[in-house]
Amino acid sequence: MSKEIKVPEIDFDRLDEIISRYKGQKWSLIPLLQEVQRELGYVPSQTIKPIADGVGMFPSQVQGVVSFYTGLHTTPRGRNVVKVCRGTACHVRGGKTILKLVRQRLDLEEGETSPDLGYTLETVACIGVCALAPNIVVNNTTYGQVNPKKVTQLFNDRGAGG
Amino acid sequence: MAITITLDGVEVSGNPGMTILDLARESGIYIPTLCHDPHLIPYGACRVCLVENEQNGALLASCVAPIAPGMIINTRSEKVLESRRVIIKLMLASHPDNCMVCDKGNRCQLRQVATELGIGWVDFHRIPHPAEIQDLNPFIERDLSKCILCAKCIRACEELVVEGAIDYLDRGFPSKPATVGDTPLELSECTFCGTCVNLCPTGALQEKVKPHHGSTTKVVSTVCGFCGCGCNIDLEVSGNLVVRARPNEGDTPNGATLCVRGSYGFDYINSPQRLTQPLVKIDGEFQPASWEEALSAVAGKLGEIKSANGPDSLAVFGSSKCTNEEDYLLQKFAREVLGTPNIDNGGSVYNSASRNGLGGSLGFAASTNPIGDIEQSEVILLVGDDPEVSAPQIGYAIKRAVRHKGARLVVINSRDTGLASFAHQYLVPKVGTETSLINGIMKAIVDHGIWRKSFVAEKVSGFDEFSESLSDYSSEQVEQITGVASQELHHVARLFAQANSAVVVYGSGITRQSNGEQTVAALANLSLLTGNVGKTGAGIFAIQEENNGLGAADMGCLPDLLPGYQPVANGAGLTLSEMMEQAEAGKIKGMYIMGENPVAGISDSGKILGSLDFLVVQDLFLTDTARLANVVLPAAGFAEKDGTFTNFERRVQRVRKAVDPPGESLPDWQIILKLAEAMGNPMQYSSPQEIMDEIAARVPLYHGINYDDIVPGGIFWPRTNGYRLGPSRLYEGGFPQGFGRFVVTGSQLSEDKAEPEIIVPKELYQFGSGVRSSMSYRLNAMIVEPSGTEGTDNRY
């Protein structure tokens, strides 16, 4: 259940240019998908057929590969990707409450992206910084010893419950 | 070099590359499987076929493990049986508990294996698969809660029919076969061929409309009544109801596949619109009549017209959809009982171009190779046809050749076809200019010196004159006429000529044109020039639109040819279009039409036929043509009679009765016999077998064809010595006396005028004029626009 997101226009000329460099090479499907995701932020469903035609596979097969990897996303992602840890140490040190506060602050459920493409919320199994539990990762920065005040500071561009 | 292994204590030998499963089956040892099928590449998904390697205790998936010298395999050790039990129990733990109401019933392979292993109670924790798919199409029902993830549906769609409509979506517990975007099937590339349903081992994929619950009582092997592929179908029958149609996977033209028409289009058999009683028109209204009344009306009136105006005032129009026996009887009835030479059949418009075009140069007026040869070909030239609609088996074969065997496809067509996306090259000449294009290609081949010189020198006559005649077809001139760039033409010429084996496939887009014969002859020339006749993977395919188009011609249902293509002794009769002309002029006064609906295809024919003194029509439904008749005779369909059809591969195959025809309708052959009797000229046959025995005796082409010998896949004509089931490939030993020659197709460029011929694309869910397909509830549900020409509506 995702909110209505304003999907950005897809530049199909740019897409065709990318695909042309992988033409007819079935083995290079994954690097092609990764490059498309780098360019467009995700792998839109409208790109499945051009990609399939480009490498000589069926669209359903390309969809099968995309759906296999959690690293390939089929919906647009926010500019900021927030990952709340739900590992053992974080859980024991109040990770559930932190998650609840983050959800309220961003007004997002796990897996959702905000309509203005500002934030995407995810949970992860363990970041590996258990000594600093509870932890949150935003984009490439890890925040340890998170408490309600830090949550407010981190997401100060979002109102409480907004 | 053979490899020997020990299988369950017995030494057995096999060829390198064989799997343990193949060798076990050959040796009569049973190993259960769920994801394996002989038509699909082995996959190793279900793990039910695990066997124990006694040398190291490892469990091997026998369907993919190759045999190795010295292997010691046990297919029934306790380790093997325990692993099988666990696997099946895990599948059942995710399976719904509704075996009692599942229509797969005893056909369920999961149930069969569970039964063999004695699994009744599943003591594992249940984790059901969700089953939320709602498809609206009338063909296939998906209940993926029963899916065991064997991937047979996916592999069938990708490997056999090369459509690729489904593949696995997501992984882990939510994994399921899905279309792109996980849409309902009707919004995907799915053509509803039914192959996935046929191969699914559980009740996950079944036919949607189930008129019957429970097991069927008998299976009847017969041949589909729609297109010219002649797919062998097993009809599963309960009582007098055909419940489902499955492909007969013997050595047949279709293997494990069918198309939507064959799989699901037969339900017109039970349409409430079927004619069940003879009808006689009294004061402009049809009244039901008894057979006696109707037949005596017909015999009386036809006899009257004959004595008043001579037999030439009568005309008979037979069917490319009826059996060989019926067409043979009909032409005999026309010539001997009515005494008229005016007999034609509905397939002529599609195949008369092949009669002289192919027959005149090669010797026989039919395809030269079996469909399977297409996958042995390096280059495929597809001219003037969309086989995905007109002959799906050819469509699948071409796609398999391109996708899986690396063949190159060249499409020459004046309108877009589905296969253009598989084409290495796609040429679009102006309509009607195909002959010039082919001649141009041949000139390029000769100029480059790349024709098969030794083959031509040894086996083909007329090269010098032929090569002379190509002088006006330089690529620049041809570019002028056809619009095809000369560079493209040279590329095709080189590609085709330099292939080790290449095939030509052509169809009604060519044969319906008035210069069709020229184009077909040019294609025959091309095959001869490049040595592509009489060997594996090389030949010509003349696609027949209808199930017995070739047979009707073989049986002499033609004005100028007797059965077996012997010329008529005294004066040819009229073709259908000539019959219409003469009827309009008042020369033809009475007509007998069997199994055809000319009103749908020929403009103004309604007016003409309606003004005849007498018209009798024999059909399954009250077609637009039948509505104009004075007497309508109700006939039986393909599933309701015995006989044979001849497909375009020249296979003579058995049609078998599965159910009784409705009401008082009768097989066409019985009606013709009754009519002959009513006219005082009885013909004595008590069964279709007797009729075929006479055909085999009288028609050289059909020598040696007898019912006892016909197995699934039929007998190829001509059944000469040395071929137990007839030659699947013609001309392997050379050409018949006087044939194997180049035919000059006219060097006058002005003859190739582009004609304003509009060739109407046909749809997969329609067939011909729609007489049967529009009465199939399931096929008809997919039609958005009515079929056929204006002014006709076959749906009522």
Q: Of B93, B119, B138, at which residue does a domain stop?
A: B93
Give pLDDT, residue B189.
Answer: 93
Residue B400 has pLDDT above 80, yes or no: yes
Establish if A12 touches chain B: CB-CB under 8 angstroms: no
Task: Please tell me whether residues B377 and B517 are part of one structural domain.
Answer: yes
Which residues of chain B does A72 touch, with a Cβ-Cβ cutoff of 8 Å? none
What is the share, in percent, of chain B residues with pLDDT greater than 90? 82
ipTM passes above 0.90: no
Does some domain include residue A43?
Answer: yes
∠ CA B155-B160-B161 to the nearest 5 degrees?
Answer: 105
Task: Please tell me whether residues A86 and A149 are part of one structural domain.
Answer: yes
* Confidence band of B334 (pLDDT split at 50, 70, 90): very high
Query: pLDDT tens digit string along B470-483?
Result: 998 998 999 999 99
Task: Please tell me whether residues A115 and A55 are part of one structural domain.
Answer: no
Give pLDDT, residue B571.
Answer: 87
Establish if A75 touches chain B: CB-CB under 8 angstroms: no
Task: Please tell me whether residues A60 and A103 are part of one structural domain.
Answer: no
Task: Please tell me whether residues A16 and A57 are part of one structural domain.
Answer: yes
Query: Pick from B165, B170, B171: which is nearest to A60 by CB?
Result: B165
* Confidence band of B746 (pLDDT split at 50, 70, 90): low
Task: Please tell me whether residues A57 and A97 are part of one structural domain.
Answer: no
Residue B442 has pLDDT above 90, yes or no: yes
Total count of residues recorded for chain B: 796
Task: Please tell me whether residues A90 and A145 are part of one structural domain.
Answer: yes
Q: How far is A67 from chain B (nearest CA, A)?
A: 5
User: At which residue do the structure tokens 């039964």 appear?
Assistant: B115
Lowest mean pLDDT among A130-134, B169-173, B225-229: B169-173
Task: Please tell me whether residues B620 and B576 are part of one structural domain.
Answer: yes
Query: pLDDT tens digit string along B128-155?
Result: 887 767 889 999 999 999 999 999 999 9
Give pLDDT, residue A79.
Answer: 86
Establish if A74 touches chain B: CB-CB under 8 angstroms: no
> Looking at residues B750-771, what average pLDDT do you find?
64
**Which range marks the domain in which residue B80 is found?**
3-93
A61/B164 CB distance under 8 A: yes
Query: pLDDT tens digit string along B196-248?
Result: 999 999 999 999 877 788 788 899 999 999 999 999 999 999 999 999 999 99
Query: Pick from A45, A49, A58: which is nearest to B167 by CB?
Result: A58
B178/A63 CB distance under 8 A: yes
The pair of structure tokens assigned to B514 is: 């008035």
B452 within 8 A of B535, measured Cβ to Cβ: no
CB contact set of B266 (below 8 Å; sequence gap of 6+):
B225, B235, B242, B245, B639, B776
Task: Please tell me whether residues B518 and B602 are part of one structural domain.
Answer: no
Residue B780 has pLDDT above 80, yes or no: yes
Q: What is the DSSP string of B227-284?
A: STT--EEEEEEETTEEEEEEE--SS-SSTT---HHHHHGGGGGG-TTS--S-EEEETT
B181/A67 CB distance under 8 A: no
User: At which residue do the structure tokens 């010295």 appear?
Assistant: B70
Give pLDDT, residue B619.
Answer: 97
* Confidence band of B455 (pLDDT split at 50, 70, 90): very high
Structural domain count of chain A: 2
Whole-number Å distance between alpha carbons of B707 and B728:
18
Q: What is the mean pLDDT of chain B?
A: 92
Which residues of chain A does B168 touch, with a Cβ-Cβ cutoff of 8 Å? 64, 67
CATH code (residue B32): 3.10.20.740
Task: Please tell me whether residues B570 and B642 are part of one structural domain.
Answer: yes
Highest mean predicted confidence (pLDDT) among A144-158, B127-141, B178-192: B178-192
* Confidence band of B786 (pLDDT split at 50, 70, 90): low
Does some domain include residue B155?
Answer: yes
Give pLDDT, residue B755.
Answer: 46
Which residues of chain A does B158 touch, with a Cβ-Cβ cutoff of 8 Å? 58, 61
Query: Pick from B164, B166, B180: which is nearest to A48 by CB?
Result: B180
pTM for the model: 0.92
The pair of structure tokens assigned to B74 is: 């046990």
**Which range marks the domain in which residue A133 is found?**
80-154
Does some domain include residue A146?
Answer: yes
Residue B749 has pLDDT above 70, yes or no: no
Does some domain include residue A162?
Answer: no
Does some domain include residue B781?
Answer: no
Under an 8 Å CB criterion, which residues of B touch A? 158, 163-171, 178-181, 188
CATH code (residue A16): 1.10.10
Which residues of chain A does B173 touch, with a Cβ-Cβ cutoff of 8 Å? none
Residue B790 has pLDDT above 70, yes or no: no
* Confidence band of A3 (pLDDT split at 50, 70, 90): low
Q: Of A25, A42, A68, at which residue does a domain stop?
A: A68
Side chain identity at residue B767, one-letter code = F
Give pLDDT, residue B414.
Answer: 84
Lowest mean pLDDT among B119-128, B219-228, B331-340: B119-128
Nearest chain A alpha carbon to B188: A60
Q: How far is B401 from chain A (nearest CA, A)?
A: 15
> Looking at residues B753-782, what average pLDDT do you find?
76
Does some domain include residue A1?
Answer: no
CATH code (residue A88): 3.40.30.10
Structural domain count of chain B: 4
- B301 vs B764, more confident: B301
The pair of structure tokens assigned to B533 is: 């006749």
Q: How many beta-carbon pairs under 8 angstroms link A with B? A: 37
Task: Please tell me whether residues A54 and A107 are part of one structural domain.
Answer: no
Give pLDDT, residue B237.
Answer: 94
Give pLDDT, residue B791.
Answer: 31
Task: Please tell me whether residues B673 and B598 are part of one structural domain.
Answer: yes
The pair of structure tokens assigned to B575 is: 């073709």
Task: Please tell me whether residues B561 and B665 are part of one structural domain.
Answer: yes
Task: Please tell me whether residues B511 and B586 are part of one structural domain.
Answer: no
B181/A45 CB distance under 8 A: yes
